[in-house]
Amino acid sequence: MAETRNVVIAMDESEFANFGFEYYMNNVHKPNDHVVLLHVPEYHTVIQSPMVMTDVSVVTDLLQDEEKRIKAFLEQLGTKLKSHGIGGKVKSVGGNAGEVICKVANEEKANLIVIGSRGMGTIRRTLLGSVSDYVMHHAHVPVLVCKRQEHPHHK
């Protein structure tokens, strides 16, 4: 019997994460893999709202909307596992994305971490930091960074 590999795949709602998942499925996946689809939620509307400092009820409503959005996304991830016939689970953990990915990989005894790359330029990556850079430098297991080839008109 083949040995089980534990694979953590970082998922957000971006096309880059979906590309990473599809790349894993098409090129790396083995039938005995146990996959953890990991989501590190970001609270976009609460942070970006100009009303945050003035109205507590607005903050409460925004948080509830974000929670609903996140819950719906986690359900989509569960469906993705089932539809691909993959053994595993969906996990959502709050915090700094790079740190959370490394922490969960340790907790899940991962053999591999898969992450999509947003393909930020050098300056933007230097200023904002890159989740994939962080994970590559801090993870204790191999990290597969999946970067899509650019479309010819984006060069």
Level-2 CATH architecture, domain 14-154: 3-Layer(aba) Sandwich (3.40)
Q: Mind listing the pLDDT tens digit for each residue in 142-152?
A: 999 998 776 44
Domains of the chain, by residue range, sit at 14-154
Given pLDDT bands bounded at 50, 70 and 90, which one contains residue 57?
confident
Q: What are the phi and psi torsion angles at 114 (to 5°)?
A: -115, 130
Q: Is the pLDDT of residue 19 over 60?
A: yes
pLDDT at 123: 58
Residue 101 near residue 38 (C-beta atoms within 8 A): yes
pLDDT by residue (tens digit) across 39-50?
A: 998 765 555 555
Average pLDDT over residues 71-97: 94
Entry pTM? 0.83
Give me the half-sphere count of Cα atoms (radius 13 Å) on the Cβ side of residue 5. 16
